[in-house]
Amino acid sequence: MRLKAFLIILTLIFSIFAVYAVTSATLQAKLINEEGALKLIAAGEVKDGDAWLGVSLYPKGFKDAIKDGDHKTYILAKGKFNKDFVIPEKYYGGTYEIAVWNRKVYDKSAWSQKNGYRLDGLLAYRTGMISK
């Protein structure tokens, strides 16, 4: 019986470490105008394991972040990353958010209802205006 209890506790401890494996990340974001196209460049480093990059674009004067925004996610492996995104003209004059997150969560939040998941465990965050 003690062995069974020990194994259950050990499994729970390893599960916690697996979910919270990433504890730090860096993130830089900058806008560049390249050959008439506006790009958002995200660069940084995930220090301890896999993480998620969330990128959100919002048009000028948006009312509802969930409905009006364009939201994308990308898995990041441990180590340095550099990703660029072409910004559609409809977002010029709007804003962006870009963040590195610890994990993907499946729950009943409003965000999950629309997208099927949400990101959790914020590690790094940047925001800014989208202007040419």
pLDDT at 116 over 50: yes
2-23: buried (b, 16+ CB within 10 Å) or exposed (e) per residue?
A: eeeeeeeeeeeeeeeeeeeebe
Q: Is the pTM of this model over 0.95?
A: no
Instruction: Reply yes or no on whether the pLDDT at 75 is more than 80.
Output: yes
The model's confidence at residue 15, banded by pLDDT at 50, 70 and 90, is very low
Question: For the chain, first and last CA: distance in Å?
Answer: 67
3-state SS, residue 62: coil
The more confidently predicted of residues 48 and 129 is 129
Angle value at C-alpha 26, between 21 and 102, nearest 5 degrees: 30
Segment 26-72, tens digit of pLDDT: 999 999 998 888 999 999 999 988 899 999 999 999 998 888 899 99
* pLDDT of the residue at 24: 86
Res. 123: pLDDT tops 50 = yes
Structural domains for the chain: 23-129 (2.60.40.2150)
Bridge partners, residue 27, by sequence: 44
